Chains A and B, each alone.
Chain A
Amino acid sequence: MDPVQSARKTLTSFTQMLPIIIGVLLLISLVNATIPAEAYAGFFTGNVLIDPVLGAAFGSIASGNPITSYIIGGELIAAHISLTAVTAFILSWVTVGLISLPAEMDLLGKRFAVTRNLLSFLFSILIALLVDLTLTSFGVSL
């Protein structure tokens, strides 16, 4: 293919995608500005089954650099929130994108985006339980 033609085609499709990428970025910034990091600890109940689900839910809504999720996760562990809840939180932070879902649906298809995100949400809870189980069976505690 002709490089000029390729560059023109790429530029056109990239320009069409920019409003959605900028829109998602703006939404993520708004969520980060609205929910302070220290607010997360107050939502957990201490229930071993409910907390991982809550952790995964908060991680799905929150977005941004994973470093932030590690810092919040570290604070949650220090606040005696369960390891499964914290693991589900940091995992869904990077695998589930509720805010970027419109962009994913638009570019990769509605069915693909919804299925992938739902599965990632469920797997973040399952992996959290498995990580806790594995560490416990090896006698490792944080």
Chain B
Amino acid sequence: MKKEKKNSRSNFYFFVIVIAVYAITALLDLPTAIRALRIFADILLRIAPVLVLVFFLLFLTDLLISPKKMVKYLGRESGAVGWCVAIVGGIISSGPIYVWYPFLADLREKGMRPALAATFLYNRAVKVPLLPLMVYYFGIAFTAVLTVYMILFSLVNGYCTEWLMENPPGR
């Protein structure tokens, strides 16, 4: 509860700082601030459905998934299943990366291992609906090779993140 209050306060301070940055920008260069606000409105409209989806996922996990189940599928003992869930989950999740932080924070609290959270986030780089566009710009060979490396390195990224968290350099 205390931690939640502290987080809520730091979230509010962060927001106030961002508003202050905008106020300074508006004073120095009003057209840029207005352009930024238009971009903001545009992005907000686009991500609104994803935010709603994340809200429902948070609600469903709270309602249906117990920490015990979470540990089984995404915990330390989850093995290959856990890695596969993280890879597929990361690839199929849509919208910007930051809207998924609350969902992952909730899963982490319930016992998801850090390696799988990092792997999930890395696989957000593999955008299946955008693959045709990547092929158009860079060709099929580049797209195929890059996609394979991204998926392989998502595992390395996950493993290394967890290892470095548990064995910080200089300790």
* A16 and B8 in contact, given A10-B55, A66-B127, A108-B101 (Cβ under 8 angstroms): yes
Contacts of B99 in A (CB 8 A): 21
Interface size on A, residues (CB 8 A): 62
Partner of B145, one of A14, A112, A131: A131
Partner of A112, one of B15, B36, B118, B130: B118
User: Interface of chain B, helix or strand or loop or mixed?
Assistant: helix
| Contact B11–A7 (Cβ < 8 Å) | no
Partner of B125, one of A26, A70, A94: A94
Contacts of B37 in A (CB 8 A): 29
| Contact A91–B62 (Cβ < 8 Å) | no
Shortest beta-carbon distance, B39 to chain A, in Å?
Answer: 4
* A120 and B157 in contact, given A77-B138, A138-B141 (Cβ under 8 angstroms): yes
| Contact A14–B102 (Cβ < 8 Å) | yes
Is A79 part of the binding interface, using a Cβ–Cβ cutoff of 8 Å?
no
Is A104 part of the binding interface, using a Cβ–Cβ cutoff of 8 Å?
yes
B interface residues, Cβ below 8 angstroms from A: 4, 7-8, 10-12, 14-15, 17-19, 21-22, 25, 32-33, 35-37, 39-40, 43-44, 47, 51, 55, 58-59, 62-63, 96-99, 101-102, 104-106, 108, 114, 117-118, 121-122, 124-125, 127, 130, 133-134, 137-139, 141-142, 145-146, 149-150, 153, 156-157, 160-161, 164-165, 168
